[in-house]
Amino acid sequence: MMNFGFTEFLLAALALTLVVAAAIDVRTFTISNRLNLGVAALAPLYWWSVDLPLTPGVWLQLGVAAAVFALLAGAFFLGMMGGGDVKLAAALALWFSPASTAKFLVIMSVAGGVLTLLVVLFHKVRSREGRPQIPYGVAIAIGGLAILAQRFLNQFA
C-alpha cells in the first residue's frame, strides 16, 4: 500500500508512547488504562497501513496478544507485575508479528531482570525498608523500542 509515511508515523507515535509510558511508570509506578487503550486502539490502523489480511493476519495478532495477556496475568497474580504492565505488553503484541512478539518478550524479560537487580541494589545501598517497587514499564519500553528499531536497522541487511 502506498501510504506516504503513514506507517512510519504510527510507529513513531508508538515509540513516543513507550517513552512516555516508561517515564510515567518511573515517576508513579502506574501505566494508565487510557495509555494502554491508545496503544491497542492504534493497532488496527497499523494493520491497515501494512495491508495485514483479516485471515490469518488479524486473527493471529489477536490470538498472540491474548496469549501474552494470559501469560503475564500469571505474573500479575504472583505480584511480579502490575496490571498496567500486563495490558501494555499485550497491547504491544498487537503491533508485532508472532516472531517479533517472542523476541520482545525475551528482551523485555532480560531488561526487567537487569532493572530489578539495579533497583534492589539501589534499595539496599540506601538502606531502605520494605520491598522495592520496580517500574516494569521501563523494561517493556526497552523491549518494544528494540523491536521497533529492528524494522529500520534490518532494512539494510
The pLDDT tens digits for 121-139 are 999 898 888 889 999 999 9
C-alpha distances (whole Å) from 103 to each of 108, 115, 139, 142 are 8, 18, 13, 12
* Structural domain includes residue 116: yes
**Whether pLDDT at 69 is above 60:** yes
In the numeric block, the cell 509506578 is attached to 29
Higher pLDDT, 86 or 3: 86
**Whether pLDDT at 120 is above 90:** yes
pLDDT at 2 (0 to 100): 57
pLDDT at 1 (0 to 100): 55
* Structural domain includes residue 18: yes
* Structural domain includes residue 124: yes
**Full residue range of the structural domain in which residue 120 is found:** 6-156
Mean pLDDT of the chain: 94
* Structural domain includes residue 77: yes
pLDDT at 60 (0 to 100): 97
* Structural domain includes residue 94: yes
What angle (nearest 5°) sits at the alpha carbon of residue 57, between those of residues 54 and 61?
A: 115
* Structural domain includes residue 1: no
* Structural domain includes residue 129: yes
- In 10 A of CB 83, how many CB atoms? 14
* Structural domain includes residue 120: yes
Q: What percent of the chain has pLDDT over 70?
A: 97
User: pTM of this prediction?
Assistant: 0.93
Count of domains observed in the chain: 1
Give the mean pLDDT of 77-93: 97
**Whether pLDDT at 72 is above 90:** yes
